[in-house]
Every structure is written in structure tokens, then in C-alpha cells.
Amino acid sequence: MAGEAPTNILGQRSFVLRSECVELAQTITGGMLAPVTFFPGDHNAIKPYAIAPWAEEQLSPDVRSMLTALRGDWFCSAFGENVQSHEGRSYPPHGETANLEWNRAALLAGPVGSWHTLDMNLPIQGGRCEATTALLEGHSIVYQRHDLSGLTGPLNPGHHATLAFPDSPGCGRLSFSPLRFAQTLFEPMERPERGGYCWLEPNAEIKDMQAVPCIDGSTTDLSCFPARRGYEDIVILCADPDLDFAWSAVAFPEQGYVWFALRDPRQLASTMLWFSNGGRHYPPWNGRHINVMGIEDITAFFHVGIAASCQPNLLTERGIKTCLEPDAQGNLSIPYIQGVARIPPGFDRVASITPHPSSSRITLTSDSGIAVETLCQIDFLKTGTLPQMEFA
């Protein structure tokens, strides 16, 4: 049910975890989830996550390990580029958790599911991080919890899910739980003199996801993707913090499934969307990273880094958190849920995700009125534990 030793998968030594509904690989470097196969025994198994086209290439030694491994979803302890140092410390892009090697500290497989715990020390940030990934039998869900300890100051954490979209314009339809605020990046994400191109108007508040301003005075629809081939763009969507839980979803009607992520908006306040469609023409991107979207649930100031996130900025001015404080003992725990559900013909876009109060299920309802139920232990976002799988 679960692999004991790491194996080389698409250029990265990885741990493997399996259940009836999910088979996943998690890289030792950066703890990145991918490939992840949902319903692996079916002829139409679902593999939603992107893997960089250079995964098995020999890259220049100066390429960061995070970029070498780039794939799927991973946890960031210091989300963003981190060009600016913070309190005298220089952080790698997306923090140590995205770049250093993880050790597998525990592994369990049984009739209810399987789980493992990876851990690492954080020599720059200080403290330690333990990452638990769990699969429940019958659930097409990946449950994760990251436990940070020994912290001495605030941090800007996040999950960095990157999805691979079919090469069919607009085939993926995005939707989100209610928002407090949304905006394009405050400055151009890429610049032509460096070999990068972006299309959205910088520093524009988003009132309508289907009519977002562009640099030529036109508008574009951000509620579907792939789109805008040849460009890289970023926007941030800030959730209503009063929600019991926040969600992000992408429906693929032609492929017959929905990918979704669930979180506590008081822990992960925003979703940053990274539209990556061939707009970077410098190594190792070389214009070939296409039809990929990052749907990144974070508490951070865009992708700037920990320094900008831990000081006043245009989001904190609106009452939106961009960093988290650990408790008095320096501890912080962040549960997270992501998964898929199959959808029938006519299911167009997710309009709502609602839990069943008396069972471990959620209902995804489409704009067209079709409802789909799937197993999901949503209380995990509050308790950090699963039935019969009590993590230490």
C-alpha cells in the first residue's frame, strides 16, 4: 500500500504513498507532490498536476533546487521570490521547505488508509517543520498538515499547487468562494528586456473576473484557462475571512472532473493565481512552460517574499493578513485539503461547495444546478486529524 524506500520519478528521488483512490509521489527535495494519480485503477485516471518540461534535463548548477524539481504542489515557509533579506536573513525562493531535502520520519499503512510524515530543520528561518500527508480509503483527497515549531517570528506560508491544463483554450473553468478583494500584480511581472512578457494591466483592482483590464486597454476573462498564450501574469484573490472555509476550484467539463482545494481563510488568507503560458524566454523556461496555472493558497503579499509580507503593504491596509504569528511557544499548524471529483455532462463551473453536517461528504454544485457528492473529511481543517488516524 505504501512504498518503503524512495525511488527516482521523473528526475527526482521521491517517496510514494498509495490508497485505492490516490497514488502520489512526493519529492525529497522540496516535498513536492507530483505525479499524483486519482483513481489509478481506472482507464481514465486523473492526473491534474503540472511537471516542468525540464524535469529530466541536466540544468545549470546555479538553478535553484526548487526550480529543478518544479512540479505539483508544495509547501512554502517563506512564500515568494525573497529577493530582499528579512531581519538579516536571506531566504531562497519560497523558503527552505521548497528547496532543502526532507527526511521521512514516519510511515503507516492500514485498512483505513495510509500516511507518512516528513520533517526538516529550518536553519535560516529557525525552528523545524513536519509535514504529514494522508490518504483515506474511498476518498479522492490528499490531506496535508504542516506543523512548524521553534519559530521566533512571523512567517508568510502558502501552498503552491500548479495544475496542467489540456491544450484547449478555455477548457478549465475557475471559481472561488466569496472574496473581500482582488487585484492584479502591482507592477509588471515580467519585462521584455529580460525575455519575459505579461499582458494584464498592473495594479488594477478586479471587480469582475470576466473583464480584467489589459495593457492595451482591452479586457480579458480570467475565469477560464488556457488563455493569453505567450504571457505570464499574476493576480491575488483575498477570501472573506469570516467564511467557515474557503475554496478554489477548476472544472474541466470535457475531461469530466473538478479539482478543488479547501482551507481555513484565517490561516491562508488569499489565493494567488499564476497564469503561466509561455511568457518566459530565458532558461530553463525557454517559452515552453505552457498551459500551467498556479492556484496558490497563501498568507503573503503576492509573491514578493517574507520581508514585504511582514510589514505594512497595500493588502494590510485593507485589513488582509499577509503574515502569520506563531503561538507563544513558536508553534503553528496549517491543515490543507485538495482533491478531485468526477462530474457528469452538463456540470459547467463550481458555484458552491457545501459540507454535509452529519457525514464525511461535501457537495459541489454547478452554475447549471447539477450537484455532485464526494467523500471529504472537511473537519480536518479544524482538527488536523482524521478518524482512526491520529497524528502525533
The DSSP 8-state label assigned to residue 156 in this structure reads: B
Which pLDDT score, from 0 to 100, does residue 220 have? 98
Q: In this predicted structure, what is the pLDDT of residue 30?
A: 98
Q: Cell numbers for 185, please give them.
A: 500584480
**Three-state secondary structure call for residue 243:** coil
The whole-number pLDDT of residue 164 equals: 98
Spell out the residues 6+ positions from residue 337 whose beta carbon is closer than 8 angstroms to its own: 141, 142, 143, 144, 261, 262, 263, 376, 378, 380, 381
pLDDT digits (tens, 9 = 90+) for 167-187: 999 999 999 999 999 999 999
Task: Give the angle 155-160-162 at the CA atoms, nearest 5°.
Answer: 170
- The H or E element spanning position 250 is strand 246-252
- Tell which residue, 144, 115, 138, 120, has the closest CA to residue 17: 115
Q: What tens digit of pLDDT does each residue of 312-326 get?
A: 999 999 999 999 999
Burial class (CB in 10 A: 0-12, 13-18, 19+), 241: middle
Domains defined along the chain, listed by start: 7-350 (2.70.98.10)
Query: Considering only CA atoms, which of 209, 283, 232 is closest in space to residue 53?
Result: 283
Quote the pLDDT of residue 199: 98
Residue with cell 467523500: 375
10 Å CB burial of residue 195 (0-12, 13-18, 19+) is middle
Residues in contact with 142: Cβ distance below 8 Å, sequence separation at least 6, in sequence order? 22, 24, 33, 36, 133, 134, 135, 337, 338, 339
Provide the pLDDT for residue 368: 97
Three-state secondary structure call for residue 51: strand
Q: Where are the alpha helices (DSSP H) in the chain?
A: 65-69, 306-309, 380-383
Query: What residues of the chain score a pLDDT lower than 70?
Result: 1-4, 390-392
pLDDT for position 391: 60
The answer to whether the CB of 164 falls within 8 A of the CB of 291 is yes
